[in-house]
Structure 1
Amino acid sequence: MAQSLRRIALVVAVATALSKLAGLVRQQAIAAAFGVGAAYDAYNYAYVLPGFLLILLGGINGPFHSAMVSVLARRPRQEGAYVLAAINTLVGAGLLGVTVLLLVFAGPLITLVGPGLDATRHDIAVLQLRWMAPMALFAGLIGLGFGALNAADEFWLPSVSPLLSSVAVIAGIGVLWWQLGAAITLPTTAVLGGVVLAGSTTLGAVLQWLIQLPALARQGLQRFQLVWDWRDPGVREVLQVMGPATLSSGMLQINVFVSLFFASGIPAAAAGLGYANLLVQTPLGLLSNALLVPLLPVYARLTAPDDRPELVGRIRQGLMLSNASMLPLGALMVALALPIVALIYERGAFNAGAAELVGNLLMAYGIGMPAYLARDVLVRVFYALGDGVTPFRWSMAGIGLNALFCWAFVGGPVPGATQLLPGLYCGAAGLVLATVAVNLITCVGLLLALQTKLGGLPLRLWLRDTMVLFGAAVLAGLAAWGVSVTVAWPTGLWGRLLECSFAGGVGVLIYGVVASLAQVPEVKDLTDQLRDRLPRIGARR
């Protein structure tokens, strides 16, 4: 079992790394072409609803994906094909209606999401939303198909497929640059640039759906037919998990809407949040997929009472591996935020002012990275246990808390509004910190609820090991920051690369030494595996 999990994790990690690398190149292309100008600022508002559906329904570890894995992993292939066809029919019909609504009500929806947008950005966002409306339909089909593939132990294709979306956007920007040249950065080309961004994003979603069809056919899971059967036991079980899970994950995505609502009155805030979020999601998505994709089927197969001790051990494994990876990454994001942003984005239309804005946001995101992934681990455990209601309740509570924290930390949806707590946090970074606070509270609540559901968990031991890793991460962050600010680094791209690499390397080394000395079992296992592999690599050379 351990060897199988490591093999799956490696496959998922490599595939996800390729996808995230392509996503990073895509964001660099967007930054160079549009900076924080009108086309990309409007795109962040237009993308809220179709992107919400793509992440919510079509994303790896999303509710559609998780529901299909949880149910089909325990069923024969032929029965799984019937269930997938029925769910595709029911979900496709509903999402086709959603697509029509997005097309018809694009104007009012953009007003709702961004009440503080100026007329130019509002009009561009409306046009972009209409171009991206079909993503609603394809999002659901993508998530269901990839969930079925994971249940059939096929992990490469679902994890690498987001690369196609990035390639489509990069190609669209390339064609636009070929046609316009340096004029692509001018305000007069914002409408055309916005349309190209939206159209290529939709094309990427279509390609993600198309690429899964041959794999589903090869696994015997593809049926090109409409099946209107919601009474089948397998279909009903999928819907029972999918319904609350979708609502729960949807509540989390509504927090994005809340943040953008408050950001609409802050110049370039939405664009800055988009750039900073990509830098966080690149390593976070890689580690999340490598950790959760192989563990979710394991959780689903350990639901019997006799398997309870092994399930508790796997839960600890998921949480501690999450903490062991996210704590040092978050610390380094905080310590090296400004040089990282300058290295990745500062070129073309993305100037030093934009780099400072995004760097401040990246610091705030870095603080919340551990809670984000730990919450995902806990939610997947509840899904595997057939309980989507508990995560949904905590997500509902999170929406209210997020709105309250955004108001407190920012002061309102327009500049100059009175703040609830003067001098606390303000501006766009306050929006990120509000989300961080909600994720942390949700994490604690889900952990306590899981302890009650399973009849007890060794939370004190888990907390002790987590605090040891936290201390190691703080030391790593301080060391990286010290190296960054005390050394006179060369200017330019290579100087920033040297600064980030050397300072980050010092931080990682210190974290590894301290965490290993602390004898946390999961960290010790990882260290032993690395030590075993290094001599083999040396011998091959």
Structure 2
Amino acid sequence: MSRGLRASAIMAAGTTVSRVTGFVRTMVLAYAIGTAAMGDAYNAAYAIPYSILDLLLLGVLSSVVVPMIVRAQQEDPDGGRAYEQRLLTVVTLALIVVAVAAVLAAPLLIDLYTTNWAPDSDEFQVAVMLARFILPQLAFFGIGAVAGAILNTRDRFAAPMWAPVVNNLVVICILLAFAMVAGRGGSNVSQVTEAQLALLGLGTTAGIVAQSIVLIISLKRAGFSFVPRFDLRNARLGEMAKMGVWTIGYVVITQLGFMLTTNLSSAAGDQAPGHGITPYTFAFQLFQLPYGIIGVSVITAMLPRMSRAVGKGRLDDVRDEFQSSVRLISSVMVPVSILLMVLGPAITVPIYAHGATSVADAIYIGNVLQVYGLALMPFAVFQLLLRVFYSFGDTRTPVFVGAGTTAVNALLMVILYVSLPARYVVMGLAFAYAIAYTLGGIVAWVLASRRVQGLGGWAVGAAITRMYWSSLPAAVLALASVWAAQRLSGGLGFVSALAILVVGGGLGMLLYLGIALKTRIPEISSILGMVTRRAAPPVKQDADAIDDTAVVPD
């Protein structure tokens, strides 16, 4: 537990700074372009490269590439160096070709991810132009992702978690420059100029370029020297394709679900301006924050260790690693999920209610975030369960589980889209997401438990139940703070929202920590103990005055 906790803490620190700067980036974006047509055009264009990368690379990285790199490091005479160089060569060439093709196909891609946007409309034309400026980042992002995967297999977790900070800082500067240059016209698709769109789009790409450079430098400092290798017969591409075809199938299925989400939300935004793609995107980014800080950090440290344990036939170690990871993630995500459900608008008003985004728009984003709070724990556990299969080299089972989850999600989304008024559709999409991942997590747990001969469900369930009980007083305090602040101020505004966050969020989490310590939740004690040890100043002692049995007084 201590090794996993230390590795996760290093990554969590970098991810925390990354997410905080990401918040600032999103705040500036909302200030500059708002949540209506211009915001929807930018977010539609921005989502496409990530969807393509998910399809081609990122899913394969976690499920196939990391275990194969680990195996090459263990089995190849050179410790896997040549294999890593071949892999980086293939990815670089392939993604350059993909980036060029995507830029040429930008109109088709925008049409694919949206609904009811006429090709001659200002919104469609702006989205296409932004996509052409943003899509070249595909090549750089992919190269950086492979570099990060190689670093992770070397237990170098800091750089992949800190590099996005550079990306965020670059884009923040670009967005501020855009806001200054474009002014109020920057939020209007009919007034923004091509030069301003070039600044916005190319600036977004520049952030990814900077992030990739940081990762490549870190890889070089870790002792990796990149030499292009074109002897691809030794790149194990056939084996990778055999393993990766199932992962690509899983990603295709999830991306079809995402495509349905963007189409339904864009259609809702056409009927109710300010209630479309942008509120969905902003709320989803906030929903992903705790998972990104804790969940991704734990998973990134967990997968290489589980892969090594599987390779040595140590199922006990696999079970222990999974159980400790679930408990560690849950100890933070359980109270956070409850507070998200209570404090959603109080979180989003201070972040988004500036410039082109009104208080009402920010409150709606918060309402969507409240619904997403239901999905936080199911989503996090679902992702952990997939890594159990990936550590065994099984990429087929996640496809079937993912297909079922996406099918349920799609069915519920369509039903809610048809049933709900347009202004509530995005909230309905978030609710469908929560239900689908809850059901998918149950199925994945049963299958993974069979694979490793038991996951300790009763023990894990008892631990999580204790965490929920410990969170209830924090939820009551948060609800009381919302009621009192709105009663005193007559509504939710910037000042009242901050007061709610301080009392309901800050004191609520402190209350949870205190109760968790009293009820002896070991993960909280471990986290606080590690923080205390790191924060404590070193004790300066005279080496000559201390023997092996000496006790240092308090």
CA contact (8 A) 1:28 1:344 kept: yes
Structure 2: gaps spanning 5 or more residues: 541-553
CA contact (8 A) 2:359 2:493 kept: no
One-letter amino acid matched to 1:73: V
CA contact (8 A) 1:169 1:200 kept: yes
Distance 1:274 1:29 in 2: 15
After superposition, the C-alpha distances for 1:320-366 in whole angstroms (9 at most, x for unaligned) are 12222111111111111111111111111111221121011111111
Equivalence for 2:148? 146
Relative distance call for 1:471 and 1:410 in structure 2 (3 A) is farther
Equivalence for 2:452? 454
One-letter amino acid matched to 1:356: I
How high is the TM-score relative to the length of structure 2? 0.86
Equivalence for 1:95? 95
Larger Rg: 2
Distance 2:70 2:304 in 1: 7
Distance 2:242 2:160 in 1: 24
Relative distance call for 1:380 and 1:162 in structure 2 (3 A) is same
How high is the TM-score relative to the length of structure 1? 0.88
Equivalence for 2:222? 219
One-letter amino acid matched to 2:451: K
Distance 1:57 1:28 in 2: 30
Equivalence for 1:120? 122
Equivalence for 2:13? 14
Relative distance call for 1:529 and 1:149 in structure 2 (3 A) is closer
CA contact (8 A) 2:63 2:393 kept: no
Equivalence for 1:476? 474
CA contact (8 A) 1:81 1:220 kept: no
CA contact (8 A) 2:66 2:304 kept: yes
Q: Could you say what secondary structure the match of 2:309 adopts?
A: coil
1:149-228 → structure 2 map (5 Å cutoff): 149-190=151-192, 192=194, 193-228=196-231
One-letter amino acid matched to 2:376: M
Distance 1:501 1:133 in 2: 40
Distance 2:156 2:124 in 1: 42
Relative distance call for 1:152 and 1:501 in structure 2 (3 A) is same
After superposition, the C-alpha distances for 1:424-463 in whole angstroms (9 at most, x for unaligned) are x951101111111221122111111111111223222322
Q: 2:393 aligns with which of 366, 386, 399?
A: 386
Kindly state the Cα deviation for residue 58 of structure 1 after the two structures are TM-superposed. Answer: 6.7
Kindly state the Cα deviation for residue 154 of structure 1 after the two structures are TM-superposed. Answer: 1.6
Kindly state the Cα deviation for residue 513 of structure 1 after the two structures are TM-superposed. Answer: 4.0
Equivalence for 2:348? 341
Relative distance call for 1:532 and 1:154 in structure 2 (3 A) is closer
CA contact (8 A) 2:112 2:259 kept: no
CA contact (8 A) 1:80 1:221 kept: no
Equivalence for 1:260? 262
Relative distance call for 1:318 and 1:249 in structure 2 (3 A) is farther
CA contact (8 A) 1:107 1:126 kept: yes
Relative distance call for 1:445 and 1:194 in structure 2 (3 A) is farther
Kindly state the Cα deviation for residue 476 of structure 1 after the two structures are TM-superposed. Answer: 2.4
Distance 1:187 1:140 in 2: 30
1:2-81 → structure 2 map (5 Å cutoff): 2-54=1-53, 62-65=59-62, 67-74=64-71, 75=73, 78-81=78-81
Relative distance call for 1:230 and 1:163 in structure 2 (3 A) is farther
| Percent of paired sites with the same residue | 22
Equivalence for 2:105? 105
CA contact (8 A) 1:38 1:187 kept: yes
Q: Could you say what secondary structure the match of 1:215 adopts?
A: helix
1:303-452 → structure 2 map (5 Å cutoff): 303-304=310-311, 306-411=313-418, 419=419, 426-452=424-450
Relative distance call for 1:191 and 1:435 in structure 2 (3 A) is farther
Distance 2:239 2:15 in 1: 29
- The RMSD of aligned alpha carbons is 3.0
Q: 1:131 aligns with which of 130, 133, 136?
A: 133
Equivalence for 1:501? 502
Distance 1:284 1:489 in 2: 34
Distance 1:186 1:457 in 2: 53
Relative distance call for 1:255 and 1:277 in structure 2 (3 A) is same
CA contact (8 A) 1:300 1:384 kept: yes
Relative distance call for 1:236 and 1:153 in structure 2 (3 A) is farther
Relative distance call for 1:57 and 1:280 in structure 2 (3 A) is farther
CA contact (8 A) 1:330 1:367 kept: yes
One-letter amino acid matched to 1:71: M
Distance 1:50 1:24 in 2: 20
Relative distance call for 1:489 and 1:245 in structure 2 (3 A) is farther
Kindly state the Cα deviation for residue 43 of structure 1 after the two structures are TM-superposed. Answer: 1.5
Relative distance call for 1:236 and 1:212 in structure 2 (3 A) is farther
Equivalence for 2:547? none
Q: Could you say what secondary structure the match of 2:228 adopts?
A: coil
Q: Could you say what secondary structure the match of 1:463 adopts?
A: helix
Aligned length: 527
Relative distance call for 1:80 and 1:254 in structure 2 (3 A) is farther
Distance 1:47 1:243 in 2: 26
Distance 2:488 2:506 in 1: 15
One-letter amino acid matched to 2:460: W
Distance 2:343 2:356 in 1: 22
